Amino acid sequence: MDKQTRMAHAIRFLSMDAVEKANSGHPGLPMGAADVATVLFTKFMRFDPTSPKWADRDRFVMSGGHGSMLLYSLLHLLGYEDMSIEDLANFRQLGAKTAGHPEFGHAAGIETTTGPLGQGIANAVGMAITERLLSAKFGDDLVNHRTYVMAGDGCLMEGISQEAIALAGHLKLNKLVLLWDDNNITIDGNVSVSDSTDQHARFKASNWNTISVDGHDQAAIAEAIEEAQKSDKPTMIDCKTVIGFGSPNKAGTNKVHGAPLGADEIAATREALGWDCAPFELPADIRDAWRIAGLNAAQAHKEWQKRLEAADSEVRAEFERRMRGDLPSGFEDAMAAYKKSLAEEPKNVATRKASEMALNVITEAVPETIGGSADLTGSNNTKTPSTESVTPDDFSGRYMNWGIREHCMASAMNGMALHGGVIPYSGTFLVFADYMRGAMRLSALMEQRVIYVLTHDSIGLGEDGPTHQPVETLASLRAIPNMQVFRPADAMETAECWELAIKSDKNPSSLALTRQGLTPYRTEYSEENLCGRGAYVLSDCDGDADVSIFASGSEVEIAMAAQAALAEQDILARVVSVPCFELFEAQSEEYKKDILGEAKVKVGIEAALRMGWDRFIGSDGIFVGMDSFGASGPYKELYEKFGITSDNVVAKVVERLK
Amino acid sequence: MDKQTRMAHAIRFLSMDAVEKANSGHPGLPMGAADVATVLFTKFMRFDPTSPKWADRDRFVMSGGHGSMLLYSLLHLLGYEDMSIEDLANFRQLGAKTAGHPEFGHAAGIETTTGPLGQGIANAVGMAITERLLSAKFGDDLVNHRTYVMAGDGCLMEGISQEAIALAGHLKLNKLVLLWDDNNITIDGNVSVSDSTDQHARFKASNWNTISVDGHDQAAIAEAIEEAQKSDKPTMIDCKTVIGFGSPNKAGTNKVHGAPLGADEIAATREALGWDCAPFELPADIRDAWRIAGLNAAQAHKEWQKRLEAADSEVRAEFERRMRGDLPSGFEDAMAAYKKSLAEEPKNVATRKASEMALNVITEAVPETIGGSADLTGSNNTKTPSTESVTPDDFSGRYMNWGIREHCMASAMNGMALHGGVIPYSGTFLVFADYMRGAMRLSALMEQRVIYVLTHDSIGLGEDGPTHQPVETLASLRAIPNMQVFRPADAMETAECWELAIKSDKNPSSLALTRQGLTPYRTEYSEENLCGRGAYVLSDCDGDADVSIFASGSEVEIAMAAQAALAEQDILARVVSVPCFELFEAQSEEYKKDILGEAKVKVGIEAALRMGWDRFIGSDGIFVGMDSFGASGPYKELYEKFGITSDNVVAKVVERLK
């Protein structure tokens, strides 16, 4: 048996033994795709196991994250220090780096968290886009790498894959290669149970190059990858594999997909493949061959390092700053100047417009910001004079026309943030967060700085009606751990929230913004970013408050009007603006207690559901908001219809105080 | 000008005048697609304006819901009583039938709510599937109709469209026709800004027939539809149209997509098209021609009625029962017998297994139930002996292998429920509700009986880790108005929750079910469905409770153990099981007050986030659950790690009582 085949067997046995030991996991994919992975990592991939974060490394994304043992085996074999044999033996145990699915941040070499199918393809598209963007800016000497994604039938069936494939083909991302692990098996049986798609025709329809290859013929695989590297289009390589390759009784069936093989079948597989090492042991020549492959792959890093050192010092400094994720020195001053100008000339604008105003400043001051929209540019107000559109033939722009593809947009932004060197932000309507929630959750799980611009944030959008009016969306986003949800009340708060989002390098942010114009209340310049407190007293009363009114976004206006109306009845109310629940929770207990206050009556106002507001107003507090879907009509009439008015607030408070 | 063209102009002017009067809306699509719609509705569609719910009518789905005025104009012109000229003039006003986007239930003839792009295509696939299912059961005499869906570039870019297209092609749904309004314009500009897909090749790759046609040549359109009707595959007709057709200065541009034309341009369009009627007025001959088309279309209903009357009386009765949505008479008895058997022999099983046991009974007793899974059949436990798989060549089965296509699955289930005659249920993992949330929201907005079987409902799934472990998903589903979220605690509760879901003909239901086995606590037969209360006292204490413990699903075990442990310290605790927040809210104030109780300490336990639980425990209550994403590891270790244990409950209660 040739050495390359035995190198693939090493992956197979590490994977099946780890799954067996964990008594849980997916051996089929790593066993089936081991030859493809061996060829890719020993002959093509450029990376450095001793410097896993090397900026210009090739990216490899394991889109079928259930095949995690393939990736862990590779990292171990190639000499990543972060992945010992003990780590492999500890597969799927609490606290292990080797989680059931690859988790970004658990070990070097895991480029992204995968498991929810299809995400990896869109992540890879985002990475490949970023490579083009940075290369356009910094030149091929510093940025010139490839992105490989391994995907299975599940990934290709998910709708997000179509969005990603169509976009990649449109943008001619020719340094992107998708390795389709074409094993013809899904959990429910043969692919033919649910699908008859001609995948080659499908990819070609979206301007891809496609190649078919026997996924166990390593020479043929190498030829295919070489051909892919010469293409002027992205390439899909159809690797025809046998799931669970090597298992005499289970290979080629769904039995080997997601369950341990069992001791007997593993013994039979050892016999069949002529493998006489104990679990987690490897033949010395094979171990050496893999280490040498890792060393060879790292040669490219040395050459790149020379080019980096030869680069213009300013260019180098700027490149390194961006890759570290540090903000440029001028950012804070630019924001301060902008906020001063807002204080001098307060504007009555919709917060989506205020967001555009803030973005005008940010995109100028922070050149790594990359904007975009899912075909709602004029509605999301996401484009600025600094952000020309990226086109298939010119990546010097900084604005992505994502098309009507929210899920791909979000997932590709994850890939962009993971790649590093850029800060992605993009827009759609708030209600369509539902279309990309699978990816938003992963932004949060991976702690990536991805910024969602979500306009048309309530019934305030008016006539488009309940399909377009979020009522539950704010609560559903606030429910996602690590996700910062901002709902600013005026132009100044919008500037502050944007500033916080840009600075938050461990959280994604969602900015919920209005379509309708809002009165400015923050008309003084403040050194401190008050939104950074999550909630703060916007308008206090003279003496102990009878009523505390908490509100966010467009409903702060109603709170302010209610405060004034209550004052006429000698009822003292204070108004607390609540732009961000999550940042409020991060404050000191003392601060939180002070903000929650001790008023007899507490009121929450938000043109959305109550869920989550009890934190501020208690379960016996008065909530003025929505308790159903919205309706189609002019927005002022909708506010009346649903009782979200200062009159209603006043009436309820007076009733309660009786 | 020929009459057919003038009939199309009637749609154009009604649409542009209504948008103008509303000063809001989308004239471009109705103006562009008017010829296609005119041909379809005057020459092909079979429906009855005087009997809009006729079971065997052809279905028409307006997937690009922003073109709602096309549909409203058609309904008015064809003589639907529910759509007067005043209704058209009232477009987008509060309380109007003519909402900004078509809202199911607002007026007869609106087959589904659209607006969120792509949904209509998957709805139509669900309708076409249902037609095949019912035809296989009741024969072509009773069920033999077509489904037409009009979709634009936005619909085709959304990932859900690929899932739907692939499935429809796989299933050879040859009575499905997709009319692509190929106007080459999206909001951000020409389609070429974001897409280069060869749509014909894409559809063909999924086993569709495709035809190209000038979308303003009515004879050619008619030929194309005729050809489509003869196909043994679903057909996509590429109708090349000019958006805003007729507008001299705005046609063919994105300016006419989503904004009123303005008085001047409307005048110019009247001039250009030779139309001299005032807004909302029509030439008498054109009005007559449309009414006659409506009468002609209704002929088919008369013929069908004869066939119905000639049918076997039992067959007819069964068909009519199903189409009414009434449950079969044996359902309640079957459930009662099953629950009695459970009381006699309580089972320690996972609730996903308990769900399968309930489904065994339900699918036998309720033959209109149609099951399915997004390729997780063995994990979701959704298949029963009564439900053979549907295949492309045999629709006599009752089980859908949806493939790895959650979004299409949910949206197609909406189409199935809307079609009527079936009760769809299908499964995936709870966390992947995120992938289909766009469609789940529409199940709720349209008040459709669609049942989501969502297994692996917490960290209790163990090793698959945080990508697969919902923590925020329960809260995010509970946030959706009208959505009933069930989380049963044992086999008996699971049976009750299923019974409620099947009976709820105005709500979708989500059943959150465990992977891990659970102790049965409901071991007595109860005539009353206790889960129907939403929350109820599962285990009371002897005397006034010091502590009320509220829990759902798998955490009820922990509550019961805590109750016992507290009793040893002479602390009296009662345990309230909370299988459904929404049904609890629907109870009387008295009942709710009683359940909430007056214990000094209130505890909530759920292996998920706190959001929503303050309703039961107050904002100062003790919550034992998650406040972050989960982790990969054996599930018992995870419960320990995150402190979701009876020991922790006891410790917190004792601390609080000090």
Tell if the CB–CB gap between B401 and A100 is shorter than 8 Å: no
B254 & B378 share domain: no
Tell if the CB–CB gap between B629 and A96 is shorter than 8 Å: no
Structure tokens belonging to residue A102: 């690859």
Q: In this structure, are residues A492 and A522 in contact, taking their beta carbons and an 8 Å threshold?
A: yes
Q: How much is the mean pLDDT over chain A?
A: 98
Instruction: Please report, for the domain that includes residue A574, its CATH number.
Output: 3.40.50.920
A500 & A565 share domain: no
A375 touches B: beta carbon within 8 Å:
yes
Suggest the residue from B101, B447, B464 to mutate for an interface test with chain A (most A CBs closer than 10 A): B464
Other beta carbons less than 10 A from residue B21's beta carbon:
18
d(CA B611, CA A628) in angstroms, rounded, equals: 18
B contacts of A438 (beta carbons < 8 Å): 432, 434-435
Asked, for residue A405, whether it belongs to a domain, the answer is: yes
Dihedral sign of CA atoms B497, B501, B507, B512 in order: positive
Looking up tokens 């500033």 gives: A499
Tell if the CB–CB gap between A166 and B186 is shorter than 8 Å: no
Structure tokens belonging to residue B431: 């966390």
Q: Which pLDDT value is given to residue A55?
A: 98
Say yes or no to pLDDT of A1 above 90. Answer: no
Q: What is the mean pLDDT of residues B367-381?
A: 98
Structure tokens belonging to residue B100: 């900004």
Say yes or no to pLDDT of B1 above 90. Answer: no
Secondary structure of B298-362 in HEC code, one letter for each residue: HHHHHHHHHHHHHCCHHHHHHHHHHHHCCCCCCHHHHHHHHHHHHHHCCCCEEHHHHHHHHHHHH
B198 & B345 share domain: no
B611: CB partners within 8 A, 6+ apart: A475, A478, A479, A611, A612, B472, B475
For B498-512, write each residue's pLDDT tens digit. 999 999 999 999 999
State which H helix or E strand residue A615 sits in: helix A614-617
Share of chain B above pLDDT 70, in %: 100
Q: In this structure, are residues A423 and A126 in contact, taking their beta carbons and an 8 Å threshold?
A: no
Asked, for residue A312, whether it belongs to a domain, the answer is: no
Q: How much is the mean pLDDT over chain B?
A: 98
d(CA A448, CA A104) in angstroms, rounded, equals: 10
B387 & B241 share domain: no
Q: Which residues of A436-460 are buried (b: 16+ CB within 10 A; e: fewer)?
A: bbbbbbbbbbbbbbbbbbbbbbbbb
Q: DSSP labels for A6-40? A: HHHHHHHHHHHHHHHHHT-S--HHHHHHHHHHHHI
For A17-60, write each residue's pLDDT tens digit. 999 999 999 999 999 999 999 999 999 999 999 999 999 999 99
A contacts of B402 (beta carbons < 8 Å): 194
- Residue type at B474? L
Other beta carbons less than 10 A from residue A262's beta carbon:
16
d(CA A355, CA A496) in angstroms, rounded, equals: 10
For A621-639, write each residue's pLDDT tens digit. 999 999 999 999 999 999 9
Closest in A161, A201, A463 to B100, CB measured: A463
Residues 160-219, chain A, touching B (beta carbon < 8 A)? 160-163, 166-167, 169-170, 186-189, 193-202, 204-207
Share of chain B above pLDDT 90, in %: 100
Upper half-sphere CA count for residue A355 (Cβ side, 13 Å): 38
Tell if the CB–CB gap between B618 and A619 is shorter than 8 Å: yes
User: Helix, strand or coil for residue A521?
Assistant: coil
Asked, for residue B257, whether it belongs to a domain, the answer is: yes
A492 & A543 share domain: no
Closest in B100, B375, B615 to A186, CB measured: B375
Q: In this structure, are residues B579 and B487 in contact, taking their beta carbons and an 8 Å threshold?
A: yes
Asked, for residue A523, whether it belongs to a domain, the answer is: no
For A549-606, write each residue's pLDDT tens digit. 999 999 999 999 999 999 999 999 999 999 999 999 999 999 999 999 999 999 999 9
Asked, for residue B60, whether it belongs to a domain, the answer is: yes
B contacts of A204 (beta carbons < 8 Å): 198, 201
Helix, strand, coil percentages in chain B from 3-state DSSP, rounded to 5: 45, 15, 40
- Which residues span the domain enclosing A411? 330-512
Share of chain A above pLDDT 70, in %: 100
Asked, for residue B309, whether it belongs to a domain, the answer is: no
A284: confidence class by pLDDT, cuts 50, 70, 90:
very high
For B401-460, write each residue's pLDDT tens digit. 999 999 999 999 999 999 999 999 999 999 999 999 999 999 999 999 999 999 999 999
Say yes or no to pLDDT of B216 above 90. Answer: yes
A302: CB partners within 8 A, 6+ apart: none
A323 touches B: beta carbon within 8 Å:
no
For A96-133, write each residue's pLDDT tens digit. 999 999 999 999 999 999 999 999 999 999 999 999 99
Instruction: Please report, for the domain that includes residue B391, its CATH number.
Output: 3.40.50.970
Structure tokens belonging to residue B446: 């349209």
Asked, for residue B344, whether it belongs to a domain, the answer is: yes
Other beta carbons less than 10 A from residue B255's beta carbon:
18
A393: confidence class by pLDDT, cuts 50, 70, 90:
very high
Asked, for residue A498, whether it belongs to a domain, the answer is: yes
B294 & B344 share domain: no
A441 touches B: beta carbon within 8 Å:
yes
Nearest Cα to Cα of residue B6 among B35, B28, B26: B35
B480 touches A: beta carbon within 8 Å:
yes
Q: Which pLDDT value is given to residue A384?
A: 98
* A262-270 contacts at long range (C-beta below 8 A, 24 or more positions apart): A262/A20, A263/A20, A266/A16, A266/A17, A266/A20, A269/A12, A269/A16, A270/A13
Q: Which pLDDT value is given to residue B201?
A: 98
B616: confidence class by pLDDT, cuts 50, 70, 90:
very high
**Whole-complex ipTM:** 0.98
Structure tokens belonging to residue A42: 């020993």
A136 & A33 share domain: yes
B contacts of A201 (beta carbons < 8 Å): 201-202, 204-205
d(CA A18, CA A27) in angstroms, rounded, equals: 9
A506 touches B: beta carbon within 8 Å:
no
A439 & A410 share domain: yes
Q: What is the mean pLDDT of residues A166-195?
A: 97
Total residue length of chain A: 658
- Residue type at B601? V
B339: confidence class by pLDDT, cuts 50, 70, 90:
very high
A contacts of B602 (beta carbons < 8 Å): none
Looking up tokens 């190059």 gives: A209
B233: confidence class by pLDDT, cuts 50, 70, 90:
very high
* B591-595 contacts at long range (C-beta below 8 A, 24 or more positions apart): B591/B533, B595/B533, B595/B535, B595/B536, B595/B537
Q: DSSP labels for A204-218? A: HHTT-EEEEEETT-H
Say yes or no to pLDDT of B624 above 90. Answer: yes
Q: Is A217 annotated to bind ligand?
A: no
Say yes or no to pLDDT of B364 above 90. Answer: yes
Q: In this structure, are residues B511 and B454 in contact, taking their beta carbons and an 8 Å threshold?
A: yes
CA angle B422, B426, B428 (to 5 degrees): 170
A296 & A347 share domain: no
Q: Which pLDDT value is given to residue A356?
A: 98
Q: What is the mean pLDDT of residues B235-256?
A: 96
Q: In this structure, are residues B398 and B424 in contact, taking their beta carbons and an 8 Å threshold?
A: no
Q: Which pLDDT value is given to residue B441?
A: 98
The number of C-beta contacts closer than 8 angstroms across A and B is 343
Shortest Cα distance, chain B CAs vs residue A201, angstroms: 5
Other beta carbons less than 10 A from residue A465's beta carbon:
28
Dihedral sign of CA atoms A503, A507, A508, A512 in order: negative
A46 & A81 share domain: yes
- Cite the annotated binding site of B for thiamine diphosphate by residue number: 66, 115-117, 154, 183, 257, 432
Structure tokens belonging to residue A312: 């213009």
B82 & B133 share domain: yes
A554 & A495 share domain: no
Structure tokens belonging to residue A576: 């607390």
B336: confidence class by pLDDT, cuts 50, 70, 90:
very high
Q: Is A216 annotated to bind ligand?
A: no
The total number of structural domains that make up chain A: 3
Tell if the CB–CB gap between B194 and A170 is shorter than 8 Å: yes
B297 touches A: beta carbon within 8 Å:
no
Structure tokens belonging to residue A164: 């990603």
